[in-house]
Amino acid sequence: MIVLGIETSCDETAVALYAADRGLLGHALYSQIDLHARYGGVVPELASRDHVRKLLPLVQQVFDNTGITKNEVSGVAYTSGPGLVGALLVGATTGRSLAWAWGVPAVAIHHMEGHLLAPMLEPNPPDFPFLALLVSGGHTLLVEVEGIGSYRVLGDSIDDAVGEAFDKTATLLGLSYPGGPALAALARQGTAGRFRFPRPMTDRPGLDFSFSGLKTFALNTWRESSRSGQDRADIAYAFEEAVVDTMVIKCRRAVALTGLQTLVIAGGVGANQRLRERLGELMDAEGGRVCYPRPEFCTDNGAMIAYAGYQRLQSGQYESLSIKAMPRWSLEELPAVKL
């Protein structure tokens, strides 16, 4: 069984082919970052139009690079939500139509399930059950994972997602969009102990997150500083430490609550080195382990969608001929896959 995966939920057009017997055959990605950078964020209509331009050539590129032909594809998986509705519709319409033309089933994939399963593409993948910390530009979720499709959301963000907080703080420090990786790089030059930011919602029980206050705290700290290069780096450092510390505290609580010993970190912010280091230390201390995908599979990619699609198709799940785009969609609504 070979599955074509398509991802177009936000500002990356991504395609991959996954084979039951050989694993990931190939993948390709086109990032729209340059298109949106001058607006300081993703412009939905521009994103949809660019997906229309780039998606089919990218599918062709993956076929060319892998030597696989359309006759060998046994199913198509496309991201059907959550995300920008216009962007999702491009992938959903294209995926559904290709599957119809090729006479194979199509399956609609939840973007965050894709992120959650991405570590399965790496050596030494996690065994079920495990805890997952999903940290992206749109979501901050702590999830108890029993198996594929059996998800219990333990914690969620009540305001900004963690990636969004990184990006907004980066913008106010004068870094270009999306500033998460640039802010993390700047933090490496920061001095420990110069500024101290709050650890939001850690002073009360529960596993929910709130990051919008940190951005305001960063703005006020920046305004009150002398606005030197070192001030900027020190604020970046203090911000990153506060975010990472908050996530470590919540993960420690989630481990205590569930007794689970494996922690998966995925989504774009999962590429953050400091977060990986600190959560690695936490799970060492707990006698467990952390698993994460390689950095390029932390951020949006087609491989995670092809893999999730393969799992669902091989268990007999597929969609009707309708085109499914779900801008809002909870992980808890997904059907379980029987292993």
Q: Is 301 in the site for Zn ion (CB under 5 A)?
A: no
CA dist., res. 27 & res. 1, Å (int): 17
CB of 287 to ligand KG4, least distance (A): 27
Letters for 29-68 (x = contact with ligand KG4 by CB under 6 A, - = none) are ----------------------------------------
Q: Look up residue 115 and give its DSSP letter.
A: H
Residue pair 141/156 in contact (Cβ under 8 Å)? The answer is: yes
CB of 115 to ligand KG4, least distance (A): 6
Residue of the chain from 136, 157, 246, 301 that contacts Zn ion (CB under 5 A): 136
The count of other CB atoms within 10 Å of the CB of residue 66 is 18
Q: What single-letter amino acid sits at 308?
A: A
Q: Is 300 in the site for Zn ion (CB under 5 A)?
A: yes
Q: Is 293 in the site for ligand KG4 (CB under 6 A)?
A: no
Q: Is 221 in the site for ligand KG4 (CB under 6 A)?
A: no
Residue of the chain from 167, 231, 234, 241 that contacts ligand KG4 (CB under 6 A): 167
In whole angstroms, what separates CA 248 from the centre of its chain? 18
Q: Which helix (H) or strand (E) element contains residue 156?
A: strand 150-156
164 vs 300 by CB, closer to Zn ion: 300
The two tokens of residue 184 are: 């993390």
| Cβ neighbours for 28, distance < 8 A, ≥ 6 positions apart | 14, 15, 16, 58, 61, 62, 65, 302
Interface stretch with Zn ion, choices 26-34, 36-44, 128-136, 289-297 (CB under 5 A): 128-136
Report strand pairing: 75-81 vs 2-7: parallel
CA dist., res. 192 & res. 208, Å (int): 27
CB of 300 to Zn ion, least distance (A): 4
237-276 binders of ligand KG4 (CB under 6 A): 267-269, 271-272
Residue of the chain from 166, 195, 197, 211 that contacts ligand KG4 (CB under 6 A): 166
CA dist., res. 285 & res. 295, Å (int): 24
Q: Is 300 in the site for ligand KG4 (CB under 6 A)?
A: yes
| Cβ neighbours for 282, distance < 8 A, ≥ 6 positions apart | 248, 251, 252, 255, 263
Q: Is 81 in the site for ligand KG4 (CB under 6 A)?
A: no
Question: In the complex, which residues of this chain contact Zn ion (CB under 5 A)?
Answer: 136, 300
Where on the chain is the footprint of ligand KG4 (CB under 6 A)? 10, 136-138, 163, 166-167, 178, 180-181, 184, 267-269, 271-272, 299-300
